[in-house]
Amino acid sequence: MKEYYPNIPKIEYEGPASKNILAFKHYNKDEKVMGKRMSEHLKFAFAFWHGMNYDGTDMFGGGTYDRTFGQKESREKAKARINAAFELMQKTGFEYFCFHDVDICEPSANLAELKTNLLYITDYIKEHMAKTGIKLAWGTANLFGAARYQHGAATSPYVESYAAAACQVKNALDATIKMGGIGYTFWGGREGYDTLLNTNMEFELDNLARFYRMVIDYGRSNGFKGTFYIEPKPKEPTMHQYDFDVSTSIAFIQKYGFESDIKLNIEGNHASLAGHTFEHEIRVARINGLLGSIDANHAETLVGWDTDEFPKDVKSTALVMYEILKNNGLQYGVINFDSKLRRPSSDELDNAIGFIVGMDTFALGLKLAAKIIEDGRIDEFVRNRYSGFNAGIGEKIVKGETNLEELEEYALSLEEKRLPSGRQEYLNGIINELMFS
């Protein structure tokens, strides 16, 4: 078979001293961290859309990066893209991938063609999966690119758009089931509004829930045992998106009773767009038992939109991996990479390097998170901070054995005193110390 990336060798672990950019310095897949292999902690999934399709186009100009794979727009090009993707995944060591329906096949003039194209290309992908052992993490449908979704898909005021979305999701879910995916993602790119002046929010949300119910029922009755995920994002492309952040999405999941089927797929860049840290969003999902999967792309926070960068901030990945370790791993998902090329990064090596550096950043984060937990000072500090609730009146509060009268009596018996320090300076110092020890 033709080699698409002759300049990219199989990426091996060479250790921290290596100066070879086409090598892992920290991601050593068989190395054990807290009793588990790195590759079990870090189930990396390769995202097709930016990984193989994005060509650098932005609001101000066209593509800068060659995504033709030596072909003209056609089925041959779609197949070449799949060949190239599997070559890149094998060379960089990805064990999973994820896709939008439209990413993996040639452009389709209508829904019927998309269905046919998807059936064809998924047969083709399955051959690659069988040969390489690479697995499907999750699939999804692109319900935001086509003009038919200009007012939304499952929240559109138009039945035609709603039905089209149902058709596309049915076929994308069939494709996911066919390729053995462990998840299916709902990302509501156009599920929201641009102005409340033309929007019946209550009706749109009820309709969205009816949509998800139909998708879940269809999936379950067709053998899908995996997890459905909502991927929260507050805005872009719409002014306000209904899956604003993890808390908002949990309220939706709970209101409509989807707890046993839907969990969250949390993206770092979407967290910052919502005014949160990545670790905050994961914490909220984790403490509510709804952590599903991770979309690991990172924000360039100063620009204020979804840049979908490769992860490069070790402190952030450490705090993310800390949450994941506290969750006993991602029980229902993977860490997908949506590492979009920078528009000026127009060389074929840049894509591979983005993935390598992203994986290394997560490996460093994992090691640092393990150190934080093994060191124990931060966890101990947090435990001690709440120790007043372990005995006496505090314990009675926790057990629900007290009331306002008793608390008033207790409060009135106290002398005003200075409270202990929150010690952020000390705690951040510990992280720096562990990072460089």
Binding site for ligand XLS (CB under 6 A): 49, 100, 140, 185, 187, 231, 233, 267, 295, 306, 338
Which amino acid does the sequence have at 84? A
H or E element, residue 24: none
Q: Which of ligand XLS, Ni ion, none has residue 103 at its interface (CB below 5 to 8 Å by kind)?
A: none
Tell me whether residue 33 or residue 334 sits nearer to ligand XLS (CB atom). Answer: 334
Tell me whether residue 49 or residue 162 sits nearer to ligand XLS (CB atom). Answer: 49
Tell me whether residue 24 or residue 139 sits nearer to Ni ion (CB atom). Answer: 139
Q: Which of Ni ion, ligand XLS, none has residue 140 at its interface (CB below 5 to 8 Å by kind)?
A: ligand XLS
Give the one residue of 87, 245, 267, 360 binding Ni ion; rule: CB under 5 A.
Answer: 267
Tell me whether residue 295 or residue 309 sits nearer to ligand XLS (CB atom). Answer: 295
Tell me whether residue 294 or residue 318 sits nearer to ligand XLS (CB atom). Answer: 294
Give the one residue of 95, 245, 279, 306 binding Ni ion; rule: CB under 5 A.
Answer: 306
Length reported for the chain = 437
Tell me whether residue 13 or residue 49 sits nearer to ligand XLS (CB atom). Answer: 49
Which amino acid does the sequence have at 347? D
Strands 227-230 and 96-100: unpaired
- Span near Ni ion by CB under 5 A; candidates 8-16, 250-258, 267-275, 324-332: 267-275
User: Closest-CB residue for ligand XLS?
Assistant: 187
The minimum distance between CB 390 and ligand XLS, in angstroms, equals: 42
* Three-state secondary structure call for residue 252: helix
Q: Which of Ni ion, ligand XLS, none has residue 97 at its interface (CB below 5 to 8 Å by kind)?
A: none
Distance CA 83, CA 125 (A): 9
- Span near Ni ion by CB under 5 A; candidates 215-223, 299-307, 322-330, 356-364: 299-307
Distance CA 231, CA 143 (A): 13
CB 242 within 8 A of CB 192: yes
CA angle 213, 189, 124 (to 5 degrees): 80
Select which of 26, 41, 50, 100 is catalytic.
100
User: Closest-CB residue for Ni ion?
Assistant: 295
- Span near Ni ion by CB under 5 A; candidates 22-30, 305-313, 314-322, 327-335: 305-313
Select which of 26, 41, 101, 103 is catalytic.
103
DSSP E strand stretches across 150-300: 183-186, 192-193, 227-230, 240-241, 262-267, 291-295
Q: Is the peptide bond before 16 cis (omega within 30 degrees of 0)?
A: no
Q: Which of ligand XLS, Ni ion, none has residue 261 at its interface (CB below 5 to 8 Å by kind)?
A: none
Distance CA 313, CA 280 (A): 16
Structure tokens at 182: 């462990």
Tell me whether residue 49 or residue 211 sits nearer to ligand XLS (CB atom). Answer: 49
What dihedral angle (degrees, nearest 10) is formed by the CA atoms of 410, 411, 414, 418?
140
DSSP E strand stretches across 171-304: 183-186, 192-193, 227-230, 240-241, 262-267, 291-295
The minimum distance between CB 409 and ligand XLS, in angstroms, equals: 53
User: Which DSSP state fits 416?
Assistant: P
- 375 annotated active-site: no
Please identify which residue in the block is written with the tokens 């690991």.
296
Q: Which among 329, 273, 339 is positioned nearest to 303, based on CA atoms?
A: 273
CB 343 within 8 A of CB 58: yes
| Intra-chain end-to-end CA distance of the chain, in Å | 46
The minimum distance between CB 100 and ligand XLS, in angstroms, equals: 6
**Burial of residue 390, with CB atoms counted within 10 A of its CB: 0-12 exposed, 13-18 middle, 19 or more buried:** exposed
- 103 annotated active-site: yes
Q: Is 295 in the site for Ni ion (CB under 5 A)?
A: yes
Tell me whether residue 125 or residue 273 sits nearer to ligand XLS (CB atom). Answer: 273
Distances from the Cα of 35 to the Cαs of 32, 38, 261, 364, 400, in angstroms? 6, 9, 30, 16, 38
Q: Which residues are catalytic?
A: 100, 103
Residues in contact with Ni ion by CB under 5 A are: 267, 295, 306
